[in-house]
Every structure is written in C-alpha cells, then in structure tokens.
Amino acid sequence: MNWQVIVVKLKEKSLGYTTLGELIKECREKKCLSLTDLSNLSGITKGGLSKIESGETKRPELSTIKSIANVLDIPYKEIVEHYIELEQRPEALRELLLEVIKFSDNNLISKVTLKLLQSHQEDTYTSLEKLYGLAESISDSQVKIILYNSIVKYSRQHGIMTYLAKALFHKYLIERDDFSRLHETYQSGKYALHYTDFLSPNERTLFLYKLGVHAFNLMLYNECIELCELVLEEDGTESRIKADAVGAICNAYFYLEQYDKAESYLDVYKGFSFPHIPDNVKLMTAALNSARGLVDTAIKQLQKSLESSRNTTIHVINRLFELHLRNNDLQSIEELLENEPKLEQQTFITPYQKSELAYFYKLKGDFTLRKGDFHDAMNCYIKSALEYGKVSAHANSMDCLRLIMDSYISRNKEMDISVLQKLKELYNEIRVIM
C-alpha cells in the first residue's frame, strides 16, 4: 500500500506534511522525541521507523502504524478512513474491521465491511461466509446488526440468497427483543418469510416459531396459528419448539373463542413431557372451564394452581381476578392481592408476561375503583398504561387513559395537579416508546 497517499487530504487541513513519513517525523519532533525514543515507546525498531519516515517503506502494516499513532497522538481514525480507501487485501481488511469494531464507530464498520465484500482478491462466497461467521461471534448486538445489514444489502444486490436469508433471520432475532418496536419488527420478520427456503431446516423451524409467537404477542391470533402450524409441518420431532408451537396455537384459539379447537390442541399439548407443560395445562383447563360457564370449578382449579405453581403465577392471578370481579367477590380479591409481593419478586421476560402484568394493574384499578378508592384506582390505570406501552400495546394504553378520563367525567371530579403531572409523565414515556 502507498501510505503516502493516505495523508494527502490531511495536508488540506494545514498539518504541514505531504507523506505519512513526514507526518510521523513532524509529530515526533513536536514531542521532542528521537528515533530511539520513539522506538523504545512504540516497540518498532529504529531502522523500521527511519524507513517509514523516509518513505522507503511504502506499505507499513496497520499494527505498526497503530503503535506509532498511539505514541504520537496521531488522529488514528482519520488514517483508518484512508486505509479503507487504499487497502484491497481481504485479511488486512478483516484485521482493520476488528480494529474499528473496538472503536464502536458504526460508520467505519459499514465502510470496512463494504470494502471487504467488494474486494476482488477473494471469492464473494468466501467473504460472505467469513463475515457471517464474524457477526455470529460478536456479542455487541448493534455491531451484529450493522454487519448483517451489510450482508443483506450485498447479498440482495448480487443474488446470493442463502446469506440474504441467514442475515435477515439473525437480524430479526436481535431486533424482535426490542419490545417497544414489536409492530415494526414483526413486519421485518414477515418480509424475511420470503426467503425461508434458503434457511436450514432448524433455522426455518425456529424462525417460524419466533414469528408465530411474535404474532401472538401482537394479538394477531390467526397469523399465529398459521405460522405455528407451519412449525408442526417442519418439525418431525417431539422438540420443545414443537411443543410450544402447539401451546401457542391452543392459546390463540382460546382468545379467538374457538374453545373446541383450543381443547383439541390442549390434548395434543398434554402429550409432551417438558417440565413446564403440566402448569400450562392446568391453567388452560381452568380457563376453558371458565369460558364454558363452569366458574366454580375454574376457581378451584386456579386456586390450586396458585398454591403450587410459580411459572404461571401472573396468569393464574389474572384469571382469578377476572372471575372474582365478575362475581363481585371483593373479599376474595382482597385475599388474592396478598399474592402481589410474589409478582414484585418475579422477573417478567416475554412481551406476553409483561402485558399480563399491565393487565393486572388494570384489573387492580377496576377493583379499587369499585371499592371507592378513586386515587389509587387512577394510579393503577396509569401504571397499566405505562406497562402496556413497553410492549407496543398502545391501544391498551389508550384504553387505560380513556378509563381515567371517563372516571373523572362520570363522577364530575376535577383532576388535581398531581394526577395531571403523572399523565404528563406517562404521555412523555409513551411518546418515547412509540
């Protein structure tokens, strides 16, 4: 590489040099360092430094320049920008990519990645394979997305479907964990559906399941069923994914009020032997009994589940809450709320769990309002609205705000400043999330 070219643009900034060697010499002299001093500080031999300064070494290694730049406080990122333009060797570019990843400079990462993929010194498939492997090995999610975006763009332009599909798939898996963007990332997932034929069987099964659960979390129950049915077609084993896909279909049919179909899939679900299955079966059995009017039976089943199960606590409490409110059994609700500390000790991970927590606060608001504790009820509705917003359930958030407004209007109450302040804070929170 002709390193002298690297600093041409730097000269335009009036730094007073025309070659890399002159830059190093000028910076060294400004720091009052001899070649021997710089050699001792950088670990580069005196002879090697002399050849770089004189221009005899026209293509210093990146590691060499980095060592010198660190000692002399040379603007390393500016040098890297020009290195990107001039370097063609794939291995050198990969080394450079690892360097710029350390800077967390998204613009530089994108530039190096594109230059690497455009290199004519390596087969395109080999470059994509190595870049894909690098993306998988990195822990930083944002860097992963930058690399996957580069793979997607380049693969699409050159018709390389396998890596287009893989990059879209893994990018989706990362982005779907941002619960504030569930609607947006679901559309990204649906776009990636067009390329599932180019995924491996295991990747395709996992992708269909993840997208199916995503649909469920957005209350798109028919789409959840359609996607999870594809999982059952793809997966010929008795895997955990297959079991959970059956469970998702069962739940989706329940929320569609197609109880016979829900029960049919519940029977299939019972056949799996994973540890979480029994608690879920008990919960759905009680929910079906409740839906069919067997309320007393459902309450007994749910109460028993509450005493024995930790995994379904929030769901069991909410189902009991609904039934006790329906029966206007305020005493039983008071007893049920003794379990609230259990909820505060739990960590809710999935959007469904988080939305159930939001629903709990909404139910608690209904209860406290019925008791006549107006102020606490409004606080519960505000808390519910905020929790719903965190999982992109904006319609539910708006419903909670409507309940607040209706409660004030129907009771001819004036809204005090403390509530207005909380509503303002809620509005700002939801606006950020949206």
Digit-coded pLDDT (tens) for 61-100 = 778 888 888 898 887 776 777 667 667 889 988 988 998 8
Can you tell me the distance from the alpha carbon of 307 to that of 21, in angstroms, rounded to the nearest whole number?
76
- pLDDT value at residue 377: 96
- pLDDT value at residue 4: 42
Can you tell me the distance from the alpha carbon of 398 to that of 381, in angstroms, rounded to the nearest whole number?
10
Can you tell me the distance from the alpha carbon of 97 to that of 61, in angstroms, rounded to the nearest whole number?
14
- Tokens coding 57: 């070494």
Domain 1-86 CATH class label: mainly alpha
Report which DSSP code applies to 271.
Answer: T
**What's the pTM value of the predicted model, to 2 decimals?**
0.84
Report which DSSP code applies to 413.
Answer: P
- Tokens coding 214: 């995503």
Question: Helix or strand or coil: residue 87?
Answer: coil
Q: Output the furthest CA–CA distance in the chain (Å, rounded).
A: 92
- pLDDT value at residue 376: 95
Contact 153, 134 (CB under 8 A): no
- pLDDT value at residue 200: 97
- CA dihedral angle for residue 388, residue 394, residue 395, residue 396, rounded to 10 degrees: 10
Query: What beta strand segments (E) does 185-295 contain?
Result: none
- pLDDT value at residue 13: 42
- Tokens coding 51: 């050849």
Can you tell me the distance from the alpha carbon of 75 to that of 81, in angstroms, rounded to the nearest whole number?
10
Those residues of the chain that have pLDDT short of 50 are 1-18
Read off the pLDDT of residues 209-247 as tens digits, 9 standing for 90 and up.
Answer: 999 999 999 999 999 999 999 999 999 999 999 999 999
Can you tell me the distance from the alpha carbon of 39 to that of 376, in angstroms, rounded to the nearest whole number?
71
